[in-house]
Structure 1
Amino acid sequence: MIYIYLRYLAIIGTVVLLLFGISFFPPLTSGSNSAGSGVSQAEYEEITGQELAYCENSAYDVDCECFAEISGHILSQQETKVPFAVYPDRTALARGQASGEC
């Protein structure tokens, strides 16, 4: 008899934890516009312009237009962060991915 109650309690606890987790994290399928998530088109163009200038002034052997587009897209993303998690430097991440893709 007690096992039935424990089973129900476990199910209810699992559902509560799932609802709590869903409320904290945005859906993975949330779309973003061409300017990135939460950033205006003017801010997006400013970021890509800075990345284009960085690419042209550095020794990267890549297509700078492609570099600026990928790096600007990564840098313009504004996403919620998980508490107590460690994140890499966004600029180094964006430039590393852009140089590898282009």
Structure 2
Amino acid sequence: MTGRVIRIERVSSRGGVVEEPVVTAKGYRLADPAHGKHKHHAENATHVRTLHEAAALIGKGFSIWMGARGKRASLIAPKSLRIVHAGDAQAG
């Protein structure tokens, strides 16, 4: 797929809520697989400003923190994510 990334979705959200990527003051927070079992630690976080940048890193194996109102954020692996681009049939 090509085009502007408009959404990153969790394939199976918890408890029927819609989870979205968590945005911090530094941007979207991702975890580098190179850090192995320590990738979830805050000091190992990678931050990017746009969904497009986040999607590019997810394509390289990075996980992303996602959450919803009333649900604690959790780290979601790339295999459990769907990247939605402008013009995708799912975007409508």
TM-score scaled by length of structure 1: 0.22
Q: Which structure has more RCO (C-alpha within 8 Å, separation ≥ 6)?
A: 2
Query: More strand by proportion, 1 or 2?
Result: 2
**Greater helix fraction, Structure 1 or Structure 2:** 1
Greater Cα radius of gyration, structure 1 or 2: 1
